[in-house]
A and B are shown apart, each in its own frame.
Chain A
Amino acid sequence: MTPEAILVSLLTPAVVVGWLLAPYLLAFFGALVPELGEWPLLLCCLATVLMALPSLLLGESISLNLVGSNGISLSIDATAAWFLLLNGVVLGATRLASRNLEGASGPLVPAVMLGGLNTCFVVTDLISLYVALEVVGIAAFLLQLRREAPRSFWIALRYLLVASTAMTLYLIGTGLVYVRTGSFSMEALAGLELGSAQVLILLGLFSKGGLFLPGLWLPRSHAAARPEVAALHSGVVVTAGVLPLLRLMQIDPGLTPLVRWIGIASAVLGLLRALTETDLRRLLAWSTLSQMGLVALSPMAGGLMAFAHGLGKALLFLMSGGVDSTHLNSWRQRPLPARLQVPLWIGSLSIAGFPWLIGSIAKSELESALPPFWAAAVLLASIGSVAVYARLWGAPWCAPNGSNKGSNAVQSPSGGSITLLVVVLIGASALISLAVAPSHDAEKLAVTGLIFALGLLLDRGLQRWRPALERRWPDLESLQDLIGSLAVVGAGMLLSLHVMEGWG
């Protein structure tokens, strides 16, 4: 027997189910016996990372079917493995970060979150996905509540209200699928004519995944959350809605144009808003919206893209907890110590697509997996990403422990979490470079150089117009707009399906 076969044979149904259940049991017993503490959760994170490795290293996908024909089917394939890896790493890092933060939540809700996200990433039927997404939504809501900030109650309520409405629509979609095909599995969508069932399901997933107008709850929620919670939400939680989209696109290629147009619209909207934003956290949140749009473009490259973005964004959000003021207008006047500058530079360079870092490898994989028109759109979007992050690179460096002794020093996350993320990001970049061997030929480097130059120029050019532009944006983030956007985007998708049918 080869080592690969032995490794795969170790992953029996009992092991997989035990791994899925462990975080939930941990949350239950953690409430009864608080002395258990943090370590079991960190072990669960490690188990999640280990669970992802066989699929990533060996290319083996594991699928299980529990309890017969109408039972639950699970699948850990290469795409899901990237999301699992991301979940294990980022959740572990945010737990490390919250250990010395005042007022951080205990391990119970994060344990439920870990379990919910793992379930989201491996299930392949619509109803289990619904339950897992609701679990993730409720855990995300609980994590957003902050006793010291009354404002957070409104932000969290708004999130839960929009998410529950979107998931109600999703549930109607699954009901329609069942009536037409007699099954709740995602494969059932393959033979189904495009119509309202798919549109309702997509609406739910768009809203959960922070895509385009239904996902506009995201900037305010992520900007108002505690830094370690925002890191978790922006890094992993939004991807819970995006992976099912990728799976559905693989099963039913007819959905691809619809999802791609929404994805690119989301990428452009996020970039435009991020370019004119004056608050660091909101800039990061808008950038999440735009990057999720890019992740949704291709099922082949989406996993790596989400992994690269999640690591970088978690670093940036953890870093944002340590700065004195998140206002960007005076960013260039405030020196930052090296312990904040290093995560800032590595995280933002990776997302902007600097060569040899994981973000650029993911972006080139994405471009090669897409048809030429879409690849060109991704290239244009990456100019915008550079311009967005160029503003963060202007902060001067200062000596360690220099200025950061203000009131916010308590909120600065521990070095352990940031070190872990930096090591994983650089390690993963090196490993993937070795495995994929991307060709850093002169032509490609020249294109990247051109993108960076254009991005920096765009940032310079925008400096004068930024305040005027920011005031011009319509406010689409009120609760009424968010619920209305579900109706508008749903109606738009149905209409476009009819138009496409007319052309076809």
Chain B
Amino acid sequence: MATIRLLELLILLSLLSGFLGLLLRRNLYLKVLAMDVMGGSVVSLFVLFAARTGLRSPILSNGETDQALAAVADPIPQAVILTAIVIGLSSQALLLAVISRLSVRDPLLDVRTFDSEDPC
């Protein structure tokens, strides 16, 4: 149980560092990378949640006993997070595509340049 707590703590720390990076970095590209760190830690959090019941991949083969089944990882969080990974990937792709367009206007990609311009 202590290992799981320790892993949980590490994941939360990486989540926090991602959030702080997103908040404090001025460079847009680094902001998007920080968001990816956050996304990655959420994925590991779900994998950790799935591992509470056991570490074996949840794939059945013929002739399994109930005892072996008891130590299988929970398949539901794993299945769910797969969707989130795909969504995260596509948002990242879109963000990076737009950033490459924005880099024409400010190659340093400083957030303040874009925020200070007049709306519309």
Residues in A lying within 8 Å of B, measured CB to CB:
70, 127, 130-131, 134, 137-138, 141-142, 145, 149-151, 153-157, 160-161, 164-165, 168, 171-172, 175, 178-179, 184, 220, 223-224, 281-282, 478-480, 483-484, 487
Contact = CB atoms under 8 A, between A and B. Distances in A.
Nearest to A219: B119
Interface string B43-56: 00110010010000
Among A134, A154, A478, A484, the most chain B Cβ lie within 10 Å of the Cβ of A154
B76 interface: yes
A281 B32 CA distance: 29
Interface string B29-63: 00110010011001001100100100000000000
A157 B31 CA distance: 12
A487 B23 contact: yes
B23 A483 contact: yes
Contacts, number: 94
Interface string B79-120: 010011001101100110011011001000001001101011
Given A70-B76, A165-B35, A171-B42, 10 more contacts: A130-B84, A145-B98, A151-B120, A153-B98, A161-B32, A161-B35, A164-B39, A164-B95, A479-B115, A483-B19
B38 A168 contact: yes
Nearest to A127: B80
Contacts of B73: none
Contacts of B31: 161, 479
B115 A184 contact: no
A153 B105 CA distance: 11
B98 A157 contact: yes
Contact of A134 (B91, B101, B119): B91
The interface size bin for chain B is 35 or more
A387 B43 CA distance: 48
Nearest to B38: A168
Contact of B91 (A138, A150, A282, A487): A138
B86 to A, nearest CB: 9
Given A161-B35, A484-B23, A131 B95 contact: no
A171 B83 CA distance: 11
A324 B80 CA distance: 49
Nearest to B80: A127
Given A175-B45, A175-B77, A480-B23, A151 B117 contact: yes
A380 to B, nearest CB: 29
B44 to A, nearest CB: 11
Contacts of A149: 120
B95 A157 contact: yes
Given A157-B95, A157-B99, A223-B119, A179 B49 contact: yes
Nearest to A154: B114
Contact of A157 (B46, B90, B102): B102
B27 to A, nearest CB: 12
Contacts of A131: 83, 87
Contacts of B91: 134, 137-138, 160, 164
A74 to B, nearest CB: 17
B43 to A, nearest CB: 9
